[in-house]
């Protein structure tokens, strides 16, 4: 059975914090209060729907759908019924949000194909469907187990969520995890789940810009920060190279000793995020060529592990670094040291 989640990019505690920000207007604070309540409601619904959705996916995923995924875009027109109305020829649409959703989703599929030999999120050519203009000033983007959904942002703290290439790849990677390791969304497995989406989201952003690990800024969500966030000193949601930095709207721990059972996955993901960043930088070159291949195999090359612990995942990557690059001991040394630096 496949683990199905409604995984969003903005954590509930960030929405809570903004709902109490006295520098925002009453209307803005109420908006974030409503958003936080909505996200918590969906977590409960997700838990109830997961067994049914997983069974449906298991039945629908038995045969190859296509040699490569079809890319479709739907417009919710600020409503919340999914998927919305089909957008004809989204790649050339006058709606720039539709264009971005189509073009970047197409690019994510190409990234997974060329870098890792993967055919869509399920490796069976699954159609990649996106819904845009979800809700009114909706401050989030999410993968619900079958498709992507993007809000327009409130225009102050957040802007259109399709503007961030790493956000798009982050959410689609939740689909890859769903069809492979089936990581849960609580405790250490939840942190790994979120981290893997950040890792591949960042790699995709770097791939799109043809950046080396030293050219990359390692920021997550930099392109969805609105003017109100920037005036408060926030340049990103998360920083994989410096998870605890004050310029992060959603700062994270950097050491495994700081992990606590029940920690939000968006928070605990900082620990493996930092390990990947340090490993990739120590190895050098393009992140997807060596470090990325190790992390991809660690995600996809083993049996489903819904409760996988961070130490076990680290052990996988150490073994894979040696087996995938046997003539390059520096690769294994970089991965080993990266995990040791965060206490694993």
Question: Which residues are known catalytic residues?
Answer: 171, 266
Residues in Cβ contact with 27 at an 8 Å cutoff, skipping those fewer than 6 apart: none
Q: Are 276 and 317 in contact (CB under 8 A)?
A: no
Angle formed by the axes of helices 329-341 and 270-283, nearest 10°: 150
Q: Are 67 and 119 in contact (CB under 8 A)?
A: yes
Which token pair is 164? 């961030």
Angle formed by the axes of helices 291-300 and 96-116, nearest 10°: 90
- Among all chains, which residue has been given the structure tokens 């649409």? 93
Q: What is the DSSP string of 185-218?
A: SSHHHHHHHHHHHHHHHHHHHHHHHT--TTT---
Q: Which of 274, 278, 277, 250 is nearest to 264 (CA)?
A: 250
Q: Are 239 and 221 in contact (CB under 8 A)?
A: no
């Amino acid at each position: 059975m496949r683990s199905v989640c409604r995984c969003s990019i903005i954590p509930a505690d960030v929405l809570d914090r903004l709902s109490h920000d006295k520098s925002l207007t009453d209307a803005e604070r109420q908006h974030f209060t409503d958003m936080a309540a909505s996200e918590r409601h969906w977590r409960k619904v997700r838990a109830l729907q997961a067994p049914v959705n997983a069974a449906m996916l298991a039945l629908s995923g038995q045969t190859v759908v296509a040699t490569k995924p079809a890319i479709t875009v739907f417009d919710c027109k600020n409503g919340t019924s999914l998927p919305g109305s089909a957008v004809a020829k989204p790649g050339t649409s006058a709606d720039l949000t539709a264009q971005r959703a189509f073009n970047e989703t197409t690019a994510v599929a190409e990234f997974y194909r060329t870098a890792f030999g993967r055919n869509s999120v399920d490796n069976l050519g699954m159609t990649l469907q996106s819904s845009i203009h979800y809700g009114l000033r909706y401050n989030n983007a999410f993968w619900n187990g079958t498709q992507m959904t993007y809000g327009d942002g409130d225009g102050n703290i957040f802007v259109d969520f399709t503007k961030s290439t790493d956000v798009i790849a982050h959410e689609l990677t939740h689909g890859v995890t769903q069809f492979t390791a089936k990581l849960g969304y609580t405790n250490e497995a939840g942190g790994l789940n979120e981290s893997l989406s950040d890792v591949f989201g960042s790699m995709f952003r770097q791939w799109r810009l043809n950046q080396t690990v030293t050219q990359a800024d390692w920021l997550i969500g930099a392109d969805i920060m609105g003017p109100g966030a920037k005036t408060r000193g926030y340049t990103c949601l998360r920083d994989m190279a410096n998870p605890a930095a004050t310029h992060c709207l959603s700062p994270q721990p950097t050491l495994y000793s700081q992990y606590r059972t029940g920690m939000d996955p968006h928070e605990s993901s900082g620990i493996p995020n930092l390990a990947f960043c340090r490993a990739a930088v120590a190895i050098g070159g393009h992140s997807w060529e060596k470090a990325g291949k190790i992390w991809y195999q660690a995600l996809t090359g083993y049996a489903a592990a819904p409760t996988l612990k961070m130490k076990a995942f680290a052990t996988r990557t150490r073994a894979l670094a040696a087996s995938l690059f046997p003539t390059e001991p520096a690769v294994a040394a970089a991965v080993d040291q990266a995990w040791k630096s965060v206490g694993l």
